[in-house]
Amino acid sequence: MGDSTGTLISPAQEKALGNSFFRSIRAQLKISYDPDVQQYIQSIGQKLVANSDNPTQDFYFFVVLSDDINAFAGPGGYIGINSGLILNSDSESEMASVMAHEIAHVTQRHIYRSYEASSRMSLPAAAAMLAAIVVATQAPELGIGALSAIQAGSVQMQIDFTRDNEQEADRIGIKTLERSGFDPLSMPIFFEKLQLASRYYGEGAPEFLRTHPVTSSRISDTRGRAEQYPYRQVPDSQDYRLIKAKLRAGSDKTKLNDLFVYFKNKIDQGTPEQRAAMQYGLGLTFIKKQRFSEAKEIFQSLNHRYPQQREYLTALAQVAVNQRDFETAKSYYLQLQQMYPGNPQYQFEYISILLKSSQPKLALQYLRLIDYRYQQHPRYYLLLARAYGNLDEDVNLHRYMAEYFYALGQTNSAIMQIELAQKDKGLNFYLSAILDDRLNFFQAEIQALKDLQM
């Protein structure tokens, strides 16, 4: 862990801590697994990382489905961006400026220098503590309870970036932003908007302002640095417009009629690309209204005009699945896999359709082709469990459901699934040994968390 002498954890420990941290985040926050959203945020993140001061460091970017304006960095290069921040940005460069800032917090090791922990703290306990701090900023009713339990164990830890940390992240973030082809002025512009908004929010100010205080001097400093670069006009990508439309349409807090009116009113405004994004949002609203024929007509027109835009293909596939036209849906996801080879999210969608069309053996064949880097993903385990369940192989059904729950940070549920698998009468020695080993592992993690709360 980090300590006051500057000693830092090893790369292997950092990776393990990051993975455990992300499992805890999954257990408590709603994360988007939409293939288009994940493909987009990861591509923007990697573009920034490639132009950062540590381009070889591993990062994983994800979107938290929350209306709050926030972003956060965790150990192991895990960076979360709230959908609320994306929707409240007025340009792609503004969104990217926050991501570049968070990347700098990671590359400069601010996360590890911002807290001190007992040297006796286990990895799952440390990860749970970090996750509890993040969750307390996102969903106070969830996070405060977790923090209180841990503080009862006389262990104190906090992520509290200093003013110097923030200035350094701004300075390096602006440099990364400019190198990546974004507008460096977007950082002070976004900060100014947040500061102005905070005057109206009062105590309900955006969480980003509470974890990353924005002062007038900080805005002035970032503006001064940004103005050192030549002026450039950076247009938004169509992916950015479409992902904003998708996140808006996917919000559970907005009434369907309000969504319909929003997209309908903007459908004739702006450039052809901007109008297309509003048509796309309207089509997604039609899906939510179960008006599939009207949605399909919109997406077919958009796909004809913009055949390389992946979002229109996934939307057509979504309509086909809703209409139980699985062959058509599979053809769309095969096209997407050709456009984005190795993308696990489109592979998962294709396999899911195989299962819906009663082809579990074929689904297992495709699951074996998934790159090993993505075989720890919750959806990988869920699809494995469903495939084996469809084949009446209950031992493997429960075995992989256990891994699914563990990947989601629900270790107690994982233990229950292992115990169900152990009761199967057809259990062989090999599987029995695997189940015993995983049960011991899960139980040890639960005990470590209990020890922290004592």
User: How do residues 394-420 score in pLDDT, each as one tens digit?
Assistant: 999 999 999 999 999 899 999 999 999
Which residue of the set 102, 183, 207, 349 is catalytic? 102
How high is the pLDDT of residue 448?
75
- Closest by CA to 421, choosing from 373, 388, 376, is 388
Q: In this structure, what token pair is assigned to residue 48? A: 């920034």
CB 18 within 8 A of CB 73: no
CA atoms within 13 A on the CB side of 6: 1
Structural domains in the chain, CATH included, are: 11-226 (no CATH), 244-452 (1.25.40.10)
**CA–CA gap between residue 206 and residue 199 (Å, rounded):** 11
Which residue of the set 170, 236, 349, 403 is catalytic? 170
CB 309 within 8 A of CB 301: no
Q: What predicted TM-score, i.e. pTM, was given to this entire model? A: 0.86
Residue 131's identity, in one-letter code, is: A
Kindly give the pairing relationship between strand 78-82 and strand 71-73.
antiparallel
pLDDT tens-place string over residues 350-380: 999 999 999 999 999 999 999 998 998 999 9
Average pLDDT over residues 118-142: 54
Residues 6+ positions from 289 with CB-CB distance below 8 Å: 256, 260
Mean pLDDT, rounded, of the chain: 86
How high is the pLDDT of residue 129?
58
Q: Which of 1-15, 20-34, 83-97, 138-152 is predicted least confidently? A: 138-152
Average pLDDT over residues 86-92: 95
Average pLDDT over residues 424-450: 90
CB 75 within 8 A of CB 123: no
How high is the pLDDT of residue 152?
38
- For the cut 80, the answer to whether the pLDDT of residue 23 exceeds it is yes
CB 42 within 8 A of CB 61: yes
Quick check: is 102 catalytic? yes
Kindly give the pairing relationship between strand 71-73 and strand 60-64.
unpaired
- If pLDDT is split at 50, 70 and 90, which confidence band does 254 have? confident
- Closest by CA to 233, choosing from 182, 277, 190, is 182
Quick check: is 170 catalytic? yes
pLDDT tens-place string over residues 271-286: 999 999 999 999 999 9
How high is the pLDDT of residue 215?
75
Average pLDDT over residues 88-102: 95
How high is the pLDDT of residue 99?
96
Average pLDDT over residues 114-142: 53
CB 220 within 8 A of CB 252: no
SS (H, E, C) 261-322: HHHHHHCCCCCHHHHHHHHHHHHHHHHHCCCHHHHHHHHHHHHHHCCCCHHHHHHHHHHHHH
How high is the pLDDT of residue 96?
97
Residues 6+ positions from 208 with CB-CB distance below 8 Å: 69, 70, 71, 85, 98, 194
Q: What are phi and psi of 60, to 5 degrees?
A: -135, 120
Runs of H (alpha helix) within 29-88: 35-50, 83-88
- How far are the Cα atoms of 191, 372, 397 from residue 381, in angstroms, in the given order? 41, 12, 9
How high is the pLDDT of residue 217?
83
- For the cut 80, the answer to whether the pLDDT of residue 162 exceeds it is no
- For the cut 80, the answer to whether the pLDDT of residue 210 exceeds it is no
CA atoms within 13 A on the CB side of 408: 22
- For the cut 90, the answer to whether the pLDDT of residue 21 exceeds it is no
How high is the pLDDT of residue 155?
39
131 vs 185: which has the higher pLDDT: 185
Kindly give the pairing relationship between strand 78-82 and strand 60-64.
parallel
How high is the pLDDT of residue 193?
83
- If pLDDT is split at 50, 70 and 90, which confidence band does 18 have? confident
Q: What value, to the nearest 5°, has the Cα angle with vertex 417 and ends 411 and 421? A: 145
**CA–CA gap between residue 279 and residue 415 (Å, rounded):** 46
pLDDT tens-place string over residues 212-222: 667 788 889 99
- Closest by CA to 383, choosing from 356, 410, 350, 351, is 351
Residue 177's identity, in one-letter code, is: L
Q: How far apart are the first and last CA of the chain?
A: 21
DSSP code at position 237: P
How high is the pLDDT of residue 147?
35
| Chain center to CA of 404 | 17
DSSP 177-189: HHHTTS-TTHHHH
Q: Which of 34-38, 39-43, 145-149, 247-251 is predicted least confidently? A: 145-149
- For the cut 90, the answer to whether the pLDDT of residue 12 exceeds it is no
Radius of gyration of the chain (CA): 23
- Closest by CA to 1, choosing from 127, 166, 107, is 127
Q: In this structure, what token pair is assigned to residue 144? A: 């405060």
**CA–CA gap between residue 238 and residue 251 (Å, rounded):** 20
**CA–CA gap between residue 435 and residue 421 (Å, rounded):** 8
125 vs 305: which has the higher pLDDT: 305
- Closest by CA to 138, choosing from 225, 241, 27, is 27
**CA–CA gap between residue 94 and residue 71 (Å, rounded):** 13
Is the Cα dihedral 138, 409, 125, 375 positive or negative? negative
